[in-house]
Structure 1
Amino acid sequence: MTIPFNKPFLSGNELDYIRDAIQRGKISGNGHYTQKCQAFFEQRYGFQKCLLTSSCTDALEMAAILLDIQPGDEVILPSFTFVSTANAFVLRGAKIVFVDSKAEHPNLDESLLEELITDKTRAIVVVHYGGIACEMDSIMALAAKHHLVVIEDAAQAIDQDYRGKPLGSIGHLGAFSFHETKNIQCGEGGMLAINDPGLIHRAEIIWEKGTDRAAFFRGEVDKYSWVDIGSSFLPSELNAAYLWAQLENLGRIQARRKAIWLDYYTYFSSGEQKPSLLNSRYLGYFAEAKQGLERAAFSFSQASDLGNAHLFYLLFADHSRRTDFAARLKQSGILAVFHYQSLHRSAMAKKYFPEQYLRNLPHADRFSDCLLRLPMFYELPDITATLG
């Protein structure tokens, strides 16, 4: 059998809630389930205002519009991230300035930020890779010193905190993903968390295609009209209904993922196949793949990197060893995958930001070339159990 890298979790109530949304007669967005999901995040995590979107990409694009990013503005963000982190600001005409990762972790190196700030810098975008928090205290202090806005790309960071503060609530804005590969998912979905009260009113207008439609439905205005720029960022009520079924099971999902993560960690740190959720034969395939490689030493996620158990990765000495290891796992029916390719070395950067393309960001390149993610999803133990 083949063990996939990811398998979307189903709680069992998704279809019931979708059916209920249809029966309520409003499925275009900002209805019963949208409001339930938004209230859940605001009440549980203390976000000032939450707006569901069709994707995390949409949430980031909303953030760029909300901050009135203009051509020539500079936005600092990590090179080791998904293209949406950069695209959202490039679409507004911004120049992207890439920062390297830490030597020991894919998160951006906050010690490198200040030297990149110029009089054109408007914002810093941090990415909490794998649900592990960036050093937000020093980043927020730096942003305050230079009068910059901080956007948290918390696509992978649901239900995780930094020194007691939920990720996505620390910066001025936070963007989340509910893509099917995330801990909580609805196929495609996202959310913008607005933590600066001064941005809430305009965010809602941008969210509603540049109109004051939401205010109209609350009875605050007698008609709605076009008052600002915006776009169609709302998800369907069907997506929101699906998401609500997931949110009801957040604790259950997180507990299971953390147990799987700890099984991986225990195995790779000890080399022993101790009793666990994961099947010993399944774990044995990793030992076989390692033995088949000459000097195939690798490091792996540390105990302090548990975070919200979004992913578990191995880090190889070089690209060829990662490729060989992944190929051997695939022969055993296990799909392990690499992750982002450094944005500063992309064709897009070479064309539009040539000075960034030529920069030396060795740690971002290392994670691009050497990091390998292992299967991680709710039903993984059940699937490995069938291996016998």
Structure 2
Amino acid sequence: MIPFNKPPVTQKELNHVLEVINSNQRLSGDGAYTKRCHEWFETNLNTPKAFLTTSCTHALEMAAILIDIKPGDEVIAPSYTFVSSVNAFVLRGAKIIFVDIRPDTMNIDENLIEAAITDKTKAIVLVHYAGVACEMDSIMEIANRYNLYVIEDAAQGMMSTYKGKALGTIGDLGCFSFHETKNYSMGEGGALLIQNENFIKRAEIIREKGTNRGEFFRGQVDKYTWVDIGSSYLPSELNAAYLFAQLEEAHIINKDRLKSWHLYYDHLKDLANMGYIELPHTPAGCEHNGHMFFIKCLNIEDRSNLIEYMKQHNVLTMFHYVPLHSADAGLKYGEFSGKDRYTTVESERLLRLPLFYKLDEADILFITNLVKDYYLKKTNTSEILNIQS
């Protein structure tokens, strides 16, 4: 069986984790490896401040607290995303206003955002799907004009850029995921990147259970106490050490994943040219990170049949999000602005193929040949689909 995902491993992780254990000093958060991770983000991504968190979900929850979301506020977001993108704001009492997506990138349609803004709107939450950037210039212009916060859910966007700027560093706050399904992993984990420097001091307090413990450890106060709301958003040093091994190899991992992504694209473009499938689109000015390779089938029935066909040949493929506005909680805590022209229909066509660090080129060839073979048999066509051995 070719799995859908394998968590990345560089072979440096064990040495770093053992160093933390053998030092016999600190296993809890904010030790030496956490600081190294923070410095890596701040230097390599050009962000004023970064904080490791226990998940991207928790980074988003911190963002919701930092921008002071209250009951009655509205937050604009795409429906085609993971629940954490909006749940973090619902927890603070916000109503989610879902906006349709662009069919080419599966990102929020920047041209529909302004129509969704009301006097209750507090923020726009963006999701950079598959590591491909939203149209940030337009969105930031709208946000500035209406005095709205911009939160980047860059869970899939580590090492991706928009016009040379790292995703997660363009809006007020950016959120990363280091779950085992992401390009860089600490098992479970995330990070909050802060561009609006007014948030830095409070973010540290919120992350440390609402206390000024950070100031105490730096010798800035003689004792620490409860000063604000917060929670325990610190990952352990073991997690940070594991992640740092992958940050050291970040460019190598990125190059490997992009190679696999382009192999998929090259092997399947003939099939796309014949109209059997659609391939991912990357707008000008966007550099993605090879997080995901997907195709779009003709419809949901076609996708279901292809998933089963691939499974019969020991290849695990996956569909992705069920639009949130159609879920019970989505109906309760949000509403769709305008018409659902693309969100549902495009979500029902999308199929993700296996993609992970060190995916064998021969496996990619096997997978793409299977996709071609499926459509060859399905259409009973004699056209040559360039099936290779």
TM-score (norm. length: structure 1): 0.90
Residue 361 of structure 1: which of 322, 340, 345 is its match?
A: 340
Give the aligned residue type for 1:37: C
Q: Distance in 2 between matches of 1:146 and 1:65?
A: 20
Shift of 1:385: 8.8
Could you say if the C-alpha distance between residues 180 and 141 of structure 1 is closer, same or farther in structure 2, counting changes exceeding 3 Å?
same
Q: Does 1:300 align with 2:279?
A: yes
Which residues in structure 2 correspond to 1:4-83 (within 5 Å)? 4-24=3-23, 25-83=25-83
Which residue of structure 1 aligns with residue 121 of structure 2? 121
CA contact (8 A) 1:296 1:316 kept: no
Q: Specify the SS of the correspondent of 2:219.
A: coil
CA contact (8 A) 2:38 2:51 kept: yes
Which residue of structure 2 aligns with residue 377 of structure 1? 356
Could you say if the C-alpha distance between residues 157 and 386 of structure 1 is closer, same or farther in structure 2, counting changes exceeding 3 Å?
closer
Q: Specify the SS of the correspondent of 2:98.
A: strand
Could you say if the C-alpha distance between residues 385 and 138 of structure 1 is closer, same or farther in structure 2, counting changes exceeding 3 Å?
closer
Q: Distance in 2 between matches of 1:361 and 1:36?
A: 44
Q: How many residues align structurally?
A: 363
Shift of 1:345: 0.7
Which residue of structure 1 aligns with residue 229 of structure 2? 229
CA contact (8 A) 1:124 1:150 kept: yes
Q: Specify the SS of the correspondent of 2:278.
A: strand
Which residues in structure 2 correspond to 1:129-168 (within 5 Å)? 129-168=129-168
Q: Specify the SS of the correspondent of 2:86.
A: helix
Which residue of structure 2 aligns with residue 340 of structure 1? 321
RMSD over aligned CA atoms reads 1.9
Shift of 1:379: 2.6
TM-score (norm. length: structure 2): 0.90
Q: Distance in 2 between matches of 1:37 and 1:131?
A: 21
Q: Distance in 2 between matches of 1:179 and 1:119?
A: 36
Which residue of structure 1 aligns with residue 293 of structure 2? 312
Structure 1 runs of 4+ with >3 Å offset = 302-306, 385-388
Could you say if the C-alpha distance between residues 259 and 306 of structure 1 is closer, same or farther in structure 2, counting changes exceeding 3 Å?
farther
CA contact (8 A) 1:261 1:306 kept: no
Q: Distance in 2 between matches of 1:360 and 1:385?
A: 38
Provide structure 2 residue ranges, at least 5 long, that are not aligned to the other structure. 367-388
Give the aligned residue type for 1:270: D
Shift of 1:142: 0.5
State percent identity of aligned pairs.
51
Shift of 1:383: 7.3
Measured against aligned partners, the alpha-carbon deviations of 1:309-357 in whole angstroms (never above 9, x if no partner) come to 000101112100000011101111111100111011111122343x43x
Shift of 1:382: 6.6
Provide structure 1 residue ranges, at least 5 long, that are not aligned to the other structure. 272-286, 288-294
Q: Distance in 2 between matches of 1:359 and 1:187?
A: 38
Q: Distance in 2 between matches of 1:260 and 1:303?
A: 16
Measured against aligned partners, the alpha-carbon deviations of 1:198-221 in whole angstroms (never above 9, x if no partner) come to 111101100110001011111111
Shift of 1:68: 1.0
CA contact (8 A) 1:344 1:359 kept: no
Which residues in structure 2 correspond to 1:235-274 (within 5 Å)? 235-270=235-270
Q: Specify the SS of the correspondent of 1:321.
A: helix
Q: Specify the SS of the correspondent of 1:367.
A: helix
